Structure 1
Amino acid sequence: MIDPGARQTPSFRAMENVNIMSITQIIIQSQYARSPEAIAIRTAITLDRAGIRVVNSDDPGCDISELPVGSVEFVLSGLRKRLVKAPPVIDYPAPLKRFLLREIRSSILINEIGGEAWIKTRGHEKSFEPGAANRPNLCGINPQTLVYASPFVRWLCEWRCYVANGRLLWRERYDPDGPDDAPEPSERVIQEMLGAYESSGDAPAGYVMDVGVLENGKSALIEINDGYAIGFYGKITPQRSRDYLRVLIARYEQIIGSLKL
């Protein structure tokens, strides 16, 4: 077990079960230079005296020893420059299907537009924000856009669970408009999700599980977000700063090591 307060080596080799190469520099996308994500990263590096340079740039760099941090598009651009394939999309993994508690089907925009479904894009490219299929602003988008479609459900709350190397590091509520007295997701159900995903062998080294409580009181999976580009929610503390960086590095190292072109 890692002592969260222990000093790490320059390449964070104390991280559990991670085959770490030497990270010499972290490149934060310029528009996120003052974001919670950037503050957490700089906090972790400063506290642990890791000897890793942190810079802001609109260029994600091309060296595998440089960790790009920013939007999905920014990080994927960095992977391409490192001659690494984009990882597969893992929004709704098969091992976690039973935890969705709603039908989510693959479709194309033209088959859903104007209807009553809730839709979001499939794939890395996000041509529109998730939401109602009958929004007028969808009319100008390619009708062949791949989407997920599902019935509307009401979430009482939404929580993000940060996971690295099979271990739940922390969780934090992130929905802006749910009731303040909403029940928290069941810890038992969260652990069941984690166990099912990890035991399947499909779970990446770093990711987040977004979990919520439906209006019927049941805890359900909202979606999985890959750990190469994730937001930071909650209070920035030394331990959470380190853990956030653990998720990013664990996933980056895995991608670099297993998905070269």
Structure 2
Amino acid sequence: MKAYIQTNKSGEFYNVNAFVAFEGFKNFGYEIEKFVDAHEISDNNPENIVVGGIGNIRKRLQNLNIRRPDKEIDYPEELKSFLKRNIWESTINQVFADKSSWNIFIKPKTETKLFAGKVIQTEMDFLGIINEEKDIEVLCSELIDFKTEWRCFIRYKEILDIRRYKGDWDTKIDLKTIVSAINSFTSQPNSYALDFGVNEKGETILVEVNDGHSLGTYGLSSSNYAKFLSARWSELTQTEDYLNF
């Protein structure tokens, strides 16, 4: 078993996530091989896991002739009731032209790496995201003031861990809501994250859903992180998950 893990050009792991993955897979007996760009990987064995940024993951899947949807999970149809706000599709130019629609959150609909999701309130917020040659498709969301936010790591329909990444440490999240969302998400992949937030009223509300193929650790243990990545990689490549225990 082998795990390819992304580094920078100096051979250092490109971020803390890569290092944690290295520790996890190494402790499970995986042979570790470093890479900078997924095009460097010459073997054609889909069982060999690749750990890296979303761009390199997509390159590797493409090189293995594995097709995946360009659109990320984001806001699954089955989980609309957990969002408690309006979500709609638009384009950058349409949003820019309609000032009455501002005071919203937007994120790329299909091309995830184009820009980080951001709040649109003034013309200055469009700097760096308007493309004169292409009108970028976006997902728009009404704003909610979350007091605290958590990432819930889900593996094989069970909670692997919950890690707070923003806000007050003493806020309580409603576990029943999380379990209900897992049970409602009928099209869920083998590993993914449910990001939940709690507002000033104490309501537990779904922020978004993220695919499990290239997520950050947010403090997840190295063994759990390796298991989490392995579950999604094996599903994408239709190979055996050797860490399914």
The 1-side partners of 2:172 and 2:18 are apart by 28
Match of 1:29 in 2: 6
SS in 1 for 2:32: strand
Counterpart selection for 1:163 from 134, 154, 157: 154
Match of 1:14 in 2: none
1:218-229 equivalent positions in 2, closer than 5 A:
218-229=203-214
Whether contact under 8 Å (1:96, 1:193) holds in the other structure is: yes
The 2-side partners of 1:139 and 1:188 are apart by 38
Letter in 1 for 2:3: I
1:1-261 equivalent positions in 2, closer than 5 A:
24-31=1-8, 33=13, 35-48=15-28, 50=29, 52-60=30-38, 61=41, 63=44, 64-87=46-69, 88-113=71-96, 115-133=102-120, 134=122, 135-138=125-128, 140-142=130-132, 144-175=135-166, 178-181=167-170, 183-197=171-185, 200=186, 202-234=187-219, 240-257=221-238
Q: TM-score, normalised by structure 1?
A: 0.78
SS in 1 for 2:215: coil
Structure with greater proportional strand content: 2
Per-residue deviation, 1:58: 1.3
- Distance change >3 Å, CA 103–CA 68, structure 1 → 2: same
Post-superposition CA distance 1:24-80 (Å, at most 9, x none): 3211221471633223223223433x2x21122113225213211111111001111
Whether contact under 8 Å (1:72, 1:124) holds in the other structure is: no
- Distance change >3 Å, CA 43–CA 108, structure 1 → 2: same
SS in 1 for 2:181: helix
Whether contact under 8 Å (2:6, 2:14) holds in the other structure is: no
Runs of 4+ residues over 4 Å off in structure 1: none
The 1-side partners of 2:7 and 2:174 are apart by 38
Structure 1: stretches of 5+ with no match in the other structure? 1-23
Structure 2: stretches of 5+ with no match in the other structure? 240-245
Q: TM-score, normalised by structure 2?
A: 0.83
Whether contact under 8 Å (1:127, 1:141) holds in the other structure is: no
Whether contact under 8 Å (2:75, 2:209) holds in the other structure is: yes
The 2-side partners of 1:103 and 1:58 are apart by 40
Q: Which moved more, 1:246-255 or 1:36-45?
A: 36-45
Whether contact under 8 Å (2:21, 2:225) holds in the other structure is: yes
- Distance change >3 Å, CA 97–CA 189, structure 1 → 2: same
Post-superposition CA distance 1:4-37 (Å, at most 9, x none): xxxxxxxxxxxxxxxxxxxx32112214716332
Post-superposition CA distance 1:124-149 (Å, at most 9, x none): 43312211233041464255211011
SS in 2 for 1:229: coil
The 1-side partners of 2:37 and 2:129 are apart by 33
Whether contact under 8 Å (2:194, 2:210) holds in the other structure is: yes
The 1-side partners of 2:79 and 2:157 are apart by 15
SS in 1 for 2:127: helix
Whether contact under 8 Å (2:3, 2:25) holds in the other structure is: no
Q: Which moved more, 1:121-130 or 1:66-75?
A: 121-130
Per-residue deviation, 1:86: 2.3
The 1-side partners of 2:210 and 2:179 are apart by 17
SS in 2 for 1:174: strand
Aligned residues: 223
- RMSD in angstroms over aligned alpha carbons? 2.0
The 1-side partners of 2:3 and 2:139 are apart by 33
